[in-house]
């Protein structure tokens, strides 16, 4: 019977083409929206991870307990060795050293006297090595307002607003004054290579970015670093994988007597990011559920109307002696085939467009030229396992449900009334 029904649907385009197209479009839109919501809600998480928290972060135990104070006197020693161990233990993540520090930036006049100065928050990261991925990760090159990226030791980036306060520009010298890892005074000269915009007032007021080797020299931290940040190579934060990795690493640090032992924390275990990760996941699911419900109503209504339009055909079949139960079952089988085929086609199309949106995204950098560093320059989707089946909820089940509801009228049809309808 199924083969017979399938031939009927293929030959009678009026019964299959429009319903198939409607179901495919509904399933496709459902998949695209779900992937988009996962990507959109994850953008803020990714930007926080890239700039501060990392997907994973390794610190010494006392550093993690006092992280708000940026205690570089509690930094990780033999950082290169530990980074190599992390790369061996967790090859699915990319590991990079970072140093966060604070101090005073002084800009001299032509006589070497102080022209202007101000407090600054600094970040040391890999900017100059051939394999450096930090500039791309933080979108630094596209955030440059004046000058260019550092290409030699001793060069730094300064927030544009801060540079104007200091009355310096690309090529000018500034002096960092702070404290070393050992507590002594640090005085180190830098050359401003370029200025950039963070798009956040707190950072634009006074932030510098330097190569980590220069910061290690300035703060007397040879082969030491405050943090080793890890980023999943997939480009997306996976909370379950991150938490599992942190548990695995911390379980290997069995020497409880070492008060400076390294500990690993996932992004959700740092600050208030855990609440945001849960909130983003909940809101993405709520919006998706609402859209799936709305799309289900549309396809349910399409199935209902499709069944109602066939009442003339149903009447003829009943008048010819076909059993009501058989007519009802054939309608359901037809809707199952249409819903299944439409859902498969729609899901494949939805995954294709979601993949394009995930890989290339929609460039919105022209709309936010002054905030391109702290805001993602492109809107991207994120394909997750539910995208492979979520389109079947409205595409298959709603279509079949609509047909089942419309088919109830079959059992109320009376043969005497059928002939009047046929004569009309």
Full DSSP string of 263-326:
EEEEGGGSTTHHHHHHHHHHHHHHHHHHHHHHHHHHHHHHHHHHHHHTHHHHHHHHHTT--HHH
pLDDT at position 131 is: 85
Segments forming the whole domain that contains residue 112 = 56-236
- Confidence tier at 271 by pLDDT (50, 70, 90): confident
Three-class DSSP category at 200: coil
pLDDT at position 415 is: 54
What percent of the chain stands above pLDDT 70?
81
- Confidence tier at 12 by pLDDT (50, 70, 90): low
pLDDT surpassing 60 at residue 19: yes
- Let me know whether 62 and 22 are in one domain: no
On whether residue 269 sits in a domain, the answer given is no
The more confident residue out of 216 and 271 is: 216
Q: Considering its fold, how many domains does the chain have in total? A: 2
- Let me know whether 294 and 369 are in one domain: yes
Taking the C-alpha atoms of residue 266 and residue 241, their distance in angstroms, rounded to an integer, is 9
Q: What's the gap between Cα 178 and its chain centre?
A: 37
Structure tokens at 262: 């390294």
Answer with the one of 183, 206, 236 that is the final residue of a domain: 236
pLDDT at position 80 is: 93
Residues with Cβ within 8 Å of residue 418, at least 6 apart in sequence: 315, 318, 319
- Confidence tier at 307 by pLDDT (50, 70, 90): low
On whether residue 181 sits in a domain, the answer given is yes
Answer with the one of 205, 236, 267 that is the final residue of a domain: 236
- Let me know whether 303 and 419 are in one domain: yes
- pLDDT, average across residues 49-62: 90
- pLDDT, average across residues 84-103: 93
- Let me know whether 335 and 201 are in one domain: no
Identity of the highest mean pLDDT range in 190-194, 391-395, 400-404 = 190-194
- pLDDT, average across residues 257-262: 84
- Let me know whether 315 and 367 are in one domain: yes
Are 158 and 126 in contact by the 8 Å Cβ rule? The answer is: no
- Let me know whether 27 and 166 are in one domain: no
Answer with the one of 187, 211, 236 that is the final residue of a domain: 236
Supply the mean pLDDT for the chain. 82
Taking the C-alpha atoms of residue 393 and residue 296, their distance in angstroms, rounded to an integer, is 7
- Let me know whether 36 and 63 are in one domain: no
pLDDT surpassing 90 at residue 18: no
- Let me know whether 42 and 73 are in one domain: no
On whether residue 332 sits in a domain, the answer given is yes
On whether residue 252 sits in a domain, the answer given is no
pLDDT surpassing 80 at residue 299: no
Closest CA to 39 of 236, 242, 233: 236
On whether residue 362 sits in a domain, the answer given is yes
Are 23 and 339 in contact by the 8 Å Cβ rule? The answer is: yes
pLDDT at position 339 is: 82
pLDDT at position 111 is: 82
Beta strand 185-196 with 155-159 is parallel
- Let me know whether 77 and 149 are in one domain: yes
Of 156-160, 169-173, 280-284, 392-396, the least confident: 280-284
- Let me know whether 22 and 69 are in one domain: no
pLDDT at position 141 is: 85
- Let me know whether 202 and 82 are in one domain: yes
Are 65 and 259 in contact by the 8 Å Cβ rule? The answer is: no
pLDDT at position 11 is: 56
- Confidence tier at 416 by pLDDT (50, 70, 90): low
- Let me know whether 18 and 86 are in one domain: no
On whether residue 253 sits in a domain, the answer given is no
pLDDT surpassing 70 at residue 361: yes
- pLDDT, average across residues 286-304: 74
Taking the C-alpha atoms of residue 392 and residue 408, their distance in angstroms, rounded to an integer, is 24
Closest CA to 332 of 347, 316, 315, 310: 310
On whether residue 184 sits in a domain, the answer given is yes
On whether residue 145 sits in a domain, the answer given is yes
């Amino acid at each position: 019977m199924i083969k017979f029904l399938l031939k009927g649907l293929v030959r009678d385009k009026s019964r299959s083409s429009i319903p198939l197209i409607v179901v495919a479009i509904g399933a496709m839109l459902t998949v695209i929206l779900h992937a988009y919501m996962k990507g959109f809600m994850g953008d803020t998480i990714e930007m926080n991870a890239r700039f501060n928290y990392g997907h994973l972060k390794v610190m010494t135990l006392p550093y993690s307990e006092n992280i708000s104070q940026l205690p570089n006197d509690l930094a990780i020693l033999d950082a290169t060795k530990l980074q190599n161990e992390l790369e061996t233990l967790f090859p699915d993540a990319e590991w990079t050293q970072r140093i966060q520090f604070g101090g005073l930036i002084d800009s001299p006049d032509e006589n070497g006297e102080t022209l202007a100065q101000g407090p600054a928050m600094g970040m040391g990261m890999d900017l100059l090595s051939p394999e450096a991925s930090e500039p791309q990760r933080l979108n630094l090159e596209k955030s440059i307002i004046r000058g260019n990226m550092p290409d030699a030791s001793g060069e730094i980036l300064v927030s544009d607003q801060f540079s104007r306060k200091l009355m310096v520009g690309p090529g000018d010298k500034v002096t960092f004054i702070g404290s070393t890892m050992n507590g002594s005074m640090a005085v180190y000269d830098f050359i401003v290579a370029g200025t950039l915009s963070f798009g956040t007032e707190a950072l634009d007021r006074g932030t510098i970015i330097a190569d980590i080797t220069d910061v290690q020299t300035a703060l007397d931290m040879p082969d030491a670093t405050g943090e080793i940040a890890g980023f999943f190579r997939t480009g997306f934060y996976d909370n379950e994988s991150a938490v599992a990795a942190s548990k695995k690493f911390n379980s290997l640090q069995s020497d409880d007597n070492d008060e400076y032992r390294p500990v690993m924390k996932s992004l959700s275990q740092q600050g208030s990011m855990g609440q945001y990760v849960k909130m983003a996941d909940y809101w993405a699911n709520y919006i998706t559920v609402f859209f799936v419900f709305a799309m289900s109503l549309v396809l349910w209504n399409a199935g209902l109307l499709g069944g109602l339009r066939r009442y003339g055909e149903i009447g003829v079949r009943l008048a010819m002696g076909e059993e009501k139960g058989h007519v009802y079952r054939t309608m359901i089988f037809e809707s199952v085939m249409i819903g299944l085929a439409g859902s498969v086609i729609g899901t494949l199309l939805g995954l294709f467009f979601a993949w394009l949106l995930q890989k290339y995204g929609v460039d919105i950098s022209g709309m936010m030229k002054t905030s391109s560093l702290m805001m993602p320059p492109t809107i991207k989707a994120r394909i997750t396992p539910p995208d492979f089946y979520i389109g079947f909820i409205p595409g298959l089940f709603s279509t079949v449900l609509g047909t089942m509801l419309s088919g109830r009228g079959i059992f109320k049809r009376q043969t005497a009334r059928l002939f009047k309808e046929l004569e009309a």
